[in-house]
Structure 1
């Protein structure tokens, strides 16, 4: 007997009835429609856990009012999708868990999770605070946090995607994801940003090549070489129809990404850069960009990170 076929990639989006959740729904639907992927719309009830006398952990049933409200939000979201994306494949899910856990448990490495930056009450605000950070850090797939309610459906300019790289494996995955997004668009430009904050160790060969240049230009020269190598490894063939530019700056990484991404359609970065603690925390740069950006931000996980945090399931 042959092996089971892998699950088809999908786009998951969390909704709660808020305006930013609607913006996330539209962003996710456009992405699913462009790629021909199914869209799964998730509403999280956040039903609490309780421990019995014999230490068994059980999830308490949600109230009828909470279930009715959740079903109403999902029905409204499905109706919106039918009106604007009538040919898309849409599934809805009423989850018992907290929002981040509900989405993470339903996601695989080839999927995409989309959420709004803030929502209504406890359910929605979870995406803005520590839960959104944990979702971006622990999800097995890229997570897009949609800020604001900007309508890009009538955009006439090329789509602008900004990605931050630092040479780490995680940033290589972020670059590959950004290239994929750019190539999937009809017309797009990709801006690759590298922050030169500290001196870079120089190999003898590099010193020889740069002997005719001013020493203060060496870090930028090496950074551009690094980025060119990263782009080539990510797949030069998929950049043929994408306008790729490189920005090397001495701004702090988060500031550089926010500056270049101020008018972008998407800012992409890895969950951790150099020196990050694998599987424990979202990097400080990622956290800063997530909380300060006013455009959609995609956080790409480190390879192999898929760790459910049982503390979040309470």
Structure 2
């Protein structure tokens, strides 16, 4: 498995999307990948009965001008600009497929008109339906990803997440992270002993899981097993500045399966104060 050679950058042209743009350009330069930059016009243009000098410019031309101004100067990256009209999530997924993109990158806008669409409906729909990894950029890039956490429930889906991470970021320190709990803990007499027992079992399973990884990759991968819910623990780690990127797979089993379904998925994407990459089954 090799790093992506083609990246789809989905932008709403808001000021906050420059973080995702900077990360896209950095990754494209690192991987020598081309960038497909897509902007979707979700609302039909208004036809106004007014003199020509009072009419607004064609939205496509405006979007293309802004995209070229933001993307086209001095990056040294092969770039193709696309402006389309329609459903944002559907067009993002379609463009990724048509252009053989192996990664989708998007940001999280705070604009009142665009922010809720991108962060909520569009990003969530893209994450749920994508067949390639989706990187949601929140932090301003200051350096390459150095410390990456890969959440695992030991399923084949989370194995794909680990393999994808190791291939994309061959020089980064990777932490294989598993959150465990004690079933029916309130009925257990010695809770501390029970937690220690489950921690040992989780550690053994993590070591067996990691044994399938090539030896060179294992050398830069450490194991962390913690008691608690994955979403809360991952938020805490990211909030403490101990991680640059959180990676998880979708459609696994157990807690990680729950993590990226429904309201908990939104909570993680909104709540982790850092970048999140979602790797789908089969990516």
TM-score range, shorter-chain basis? 0.7 to 0.9
Which residue is 2:231 aligned to? 254
- Report the TM-score, using the length of structure 2 for normalisation: 0.79
1:220 is displaced (CA, Å) by 1.6
Counterpart of 1:34 (choices 30, 33, 36) is 30
Counterpart of 2:82 (choices 74, 93, 97) is 93
What are structure 2's unaligned runs of at least 5 residues? Answer: 48-54, 185-192
Which residue is 1:139 aligned to? 130
Contact 2:158 2:252 in 1 (8 A): yes
Counterpart of 1:159 (choices 125, 135, 146) is 146
Counterpart of 1:272 (choices 246, 251, 261) is 251
- Report the TM-score, using the length of structure 1 for normalisation: 0.72
Counterpart of 1:76 (choices 50, 57, 66) is 66
What are structure 1's unaligned runs of at least 5 residues? Answer: 1-7, 48-60, 201-213, 305-314
Evaluate the alpha carbon distance shift between residue 66 and residue 124 of structure 1 in structure 2; reply closer, same or farther with a 3 A threshold: farther
Structure 2 Cα separation of the partners of residues 236 and 44 of structure 1 = 43
Which structure 2 residues correspond to residues 1-314 of structure 1 after superposition, within 5 A?
Answer: 9-46=5-42, 62-63=45-46, 68-86=58-76, 88-108=77-97, 111-148=102-139, 150-153=140-143, 159-183=146-170, 185=171, 188-199=172-183, 216-240=195-219, 242=220, 244-262=221-239, 263=241, 264-274=243-253, 282=261, 285-303=264-282
Evaluate the alpha carbon distance shift between residue 199 and residue 40 of structure 1 in structure 2; reply closer, same or farther with a 3 A threshold: same
Structure 2 Cα separation of the partners of residues 178 and 248 of structure 1 = 19
Contact 1:45 1:67 in 2 (8 A): no
Structure 1 Cα separation of the partners of residues 225 and 277 of structure 2 = 21
Evaluate the alpha carbon distance shift between residue 43 and residue 274 of structure 1 in structure 2; reply closer, same or farther with a 3 A threshold: same
Structure 2 Cα separation of the partners of residues 94 and 67 of structure 1 = 15
1:63 is displaced (CA, Å) by 4.9
Q: Give SS of 1:294's match.
A: coil
Query: Deviation per CA, 1:100-136, whole angstroms, max 9, x where unpaired?
Result: 1111111248611111122545444322113321111
Point out the structure with the larger helix share.
2
Structure 1 Cα separation of the partners of residues 214 and 280 of structure 2 = 19
What value does the CA root-mean-square deviation take over the aligned residues? 3.0
Evaluate the alpha carbon distance shift between residue 274 and residue 284 of structure 1 in structure 2; reply closer, same or farther with a 3 A threshold: farther
1:32 is displaced (CA, Å) by 1.4
